[in-house]
């Protein structure tokens, strides 16, 4: 059964993405914030259901991080647009860095897979922390529409924490990619030496 309850929740979270963007663009930040919180709850629930019901699937392990990345990318891009009526905006440079990191990681994974057939790329602790601080940055930016002063006090810390984790985790993923390719080349060289 591919579409388990957990997978259905993940797909629902993906469907929230365009709704979230539309609400922001048309000036309903409070409703968008509520939708973002619901998406966060479904993110926790789908993992819990998959474990409790023993319904972990290959599809779920692919869809879940994709749903997270879609929501985060959509949030960062939309919240960076100056014309969107919001109390705070995410700096454009942070959005560019965040999306560039994710693009480079995906590109590296594709290159590694094509060259080595390596297909397991579990997220590192740094990667998980980066996603967490990115979510906090979006949440603080959204919550500014309810309490501008509190958000303004916390927002710079969230922004620069995201910058730090984005850069460090990007370098860490690059290091892991080089190690995977190097270990494949060593194994391939040994195999050729044994066959010659």
Residues 110, 177 contacting (CB under 8 angstroms)? no
pTM, to two decimals? 0.83
Q: Is the pLDDT of residue 48 over 90?
A: no
- Closest by CA to 79, choosing from 167, 139, 126, 128, is 139
Least confident of 8-12, 42-46, 96-100: 42-46
3-state secondary structure of 1: coil
* pLDDT tens-digit map of 121-149: 667 788 888 988 999 999 999 988 888 88
| Spatial CB neighbours of 109, under 8 Å, sequence gap ≥ 6 | 121, 177
pLDDT at 61: 67
pLDDT at 92: 96
Q: Domain residues of the chain, as ranges?
A: 1-86, 88-196
Q: 190 or 55: which carries more pLDDT confidence?
A: 190
* CB burial of residue 24 (10 Å; 0-12, 13-18, 19+): buried
Cα 136–124–107 angle (5° rounding)?
95
Tell me the pLDDT of the chain averaged across its residues: 84
């Amino acid at each position: 059964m591919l579409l388990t309850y957990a997978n259905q929740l993940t797909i629902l979270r993906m469907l929230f993405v365009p709704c979230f963007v539309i609400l922001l663009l048309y000036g309903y930040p409070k409703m968008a914030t509520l939708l973002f919180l619901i998406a966060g709850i479904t993110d926790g629930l789908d993992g819990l259901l998959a474990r409790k019901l023993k319904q972990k699937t290959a599809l779920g392990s692919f869809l879940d991080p994709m749903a997270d990345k879609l929501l985060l990318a959509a949030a960062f891009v939309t919240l960076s647009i100056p014309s969107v009526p919001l109390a705070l905006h995410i700096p454009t440079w942070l959005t560019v860095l965040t999306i560039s990191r994710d693009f480079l990681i995906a590109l590296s994974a594709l290159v590694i897979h094509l060259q080595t057939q390596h297909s397991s790329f579990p997220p590192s602790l740094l990667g998980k922390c980066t996603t967490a601080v990115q979510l906090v940055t979006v949440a603080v930016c959204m919550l500014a529409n309810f309490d501008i002063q509190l958000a303004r006090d916390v927002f710079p810390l969230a922004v620069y924490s995201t910058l730090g984790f984005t850069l460090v985790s990007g370098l860490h993923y690059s290091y892991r990619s080089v190690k995977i390719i190097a270990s494949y080349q060593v194994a391939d060289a040994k195999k050729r030496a044994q066959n010659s």
